Amino acid sequence: MRVYLNLLLSILMLALLVSCNDDETEVQPQTDYTSADEFFESLDFSGSVLIEKGSSEILRKGYGYADVTAGEFNSKTHVYRIGSMTKAFTAVGIIHLKRDGLIESYDQPISDFTDEFPFADQITLRQLLTHHSGIPDYTGAVETLSASQNQDFTPEEIFEILVEGVAEEGLNFEPGTEFEYSNSNYLLLGLLIEALSGQNYHDYLKTKIFDPLGMFATKEGPNEMSGAPYAKGYLNGSEVTPYRMQIAYSAGDLVSNLEDMEKWAKALMGDTYLTAAEKEELFAEPYSEDGYNTIGFGWFTIKIEGKLMYYHGGDINGFTSFIGLLPDSNGVIVMLSNEQDKGEMRNLIQETITINEF
């Protein structure tokens, strides 16, 4: 194992690692918009879409193929990898830990929970939740080594790698001074949920979130998306190979469908599942100007032509996803695509649908 650790540390420190928000390029919304359905058809979109405004359903439909070889079309019920949209569930898991008295404050240093991680007395839970910790991202390096060596890595082993890497190379910046999106933050939060609750991470989410909200399709994703109810993943028209979901863990390993995402959105915008104080932590206050992101616990906040939105995207092997909540109109946008590397398309969807439908 030590050989793998040394090699992985080298990759970790040399690689320029990408995250789910590296594709935030400026896009222009479609100007000849006629309807949401025609818009998605014009994109040659592959996946499932839900758009609601209050009690009105604007669109709920599948597009393209769930299985190209079998000629199976995507539907309203297919299940997709949601990637980094998982982080919002991990964040609410941390909120439940506080409810249960297992943490005292989001501003507690992580040294209260582990004496193993370097600089633990300087990094708080809030900084992990909002990507202000300075801990480098692990995913690109672990994916590279896992593929090249055909080697599995558990979340605990990835934690060891991060401990050694940060001990040798330090943090990317002083905690609290900068924002840098890092999956490592949410891997640590998932391990914390297990350590404090005494439950497996996925069992804890099932107990606290999925079962209470009736989200029966949302769970840890399989390494190979094959057979009902899953849509297969594609990259540039070719089916992707299996992906070791342990790597994504609490930063991105969940799968879901439109129905469950609808229940999730309504619960978060409603008044019974979370308290007002909890929602203030989850959803950050927006900038007064359009187009600037602020970050809460697992959600970004933005204004698009004055319309307030809480959102997050996801990118993972074979899939691209997006969820946006528009609280002023009780609006929901969910886009689950079984095509990889569609970040620019996601941004176009976010802008165009918000401007034209809300």
Q: What is the DSSP string of 180-232?
A: ---HHHHHHHHHHHHHHHSS-HHHHHIIIIIHHHT--S-EEPPSS--STTBPP
CB atoms within 10 A of CB 182: 24
Q: What pLDDT does 23 receive?
A: 41
Altogether, the residues listed in the chain come to a count of 358
E-strand stretches of 241-318 = 254-256, 294-295, 300-304, 307-316
Asked whether the predicted pLDDT for residue 30 surpasses 80, the reply is: no
Is 183 buried (19+), middle (13-18) or exposed (0-12) by CB count in 10 A? buried
Residue owning tokens 């609280």: 327
Asked whether the CA dihedral 263, 221, 18, 344 is positive or negative, the reply is negative
Q: Return the bridge partners of 56, or none.
A: 53
How confident is the model over 266-283, as pLDDT tens digits? Answer: 999 999 999 999 999 999
Report the candidate in 303, 326, 267, 257 with the shortest Cα–Cα distance to residue 92. 267
Q: What pLDDT does 12 receive?
A: 55
When pLDDT is averaged across residues 94-109 and rounded to a whole number, the result is 98
How confident is the model over 198-235, as pLDDT tens digits? Answer: 999 999 999 999 999 999 999 999 999 999 999 999 99
How confident is the model over 291-304, as pLDDT tens digits? Answer: 999 999 999 999 99
What's phi and psi for 80, nearest 5 deg?
A: -130, 155
Q: Quote the number of domains for the chain.
A: 1
How confident is the model over 125-181, as pLDDT tens digits? Answer: 999 999 999 999 999 999 998 888 888 999 999 999 999 999 999 999 999 999 999
Domain that holds residue 107: 2-357
How confident is the model over 291-338, as pLDDT tens digits? Answer: 999 999 999 999 999 999 999 999 999 999 999 999 999 999 999 999
Q: What pLDDT does 11 receive?
A: 52
Q: What pLDDT does 5 receive?
A: 54
- For the chain, give percent helix, strand, coil, nearest 5: 40, 20, 45
d(CA 201, CA 249): 9
Using pLDDT thresholds of 50, 70 and 90, give the confidence band for residue 7: low
d(CA 354, CA 88): 21
How confident is the model over 44-76, as pLDDT tens digits? Answer: 999 999 999 999 999 999 999 999 999 999 999
Q: What is the pTM of this model?
A: 0.93
Residue 20 CA from chain centroid, whole number: 8
When pLDDT is averaged across residues 326-352 and rounded to a whole number, the result is 98
Average pLDDT over the chain reads 93
Amino acid at 114: T
Using pLDDT thresholds of 50, 70 and 90, give the confidence band for residue 246: very high
Strand, helix or coil for residue 212: helix
Is residue 141 within 8 Å of residue 11, measured between CB atoms?
yes
The answer to which of 19-33, 181-195, 197-211, 230-244 has the lowest mean pLDDT is 19-33
CATH value at residue 87: 3.40.710.10
The pair of three-digit structure tokens given for residue 269, joined into one six-digit string: 């915008």
Q: What pLDDT does 15 receive?
A: 40
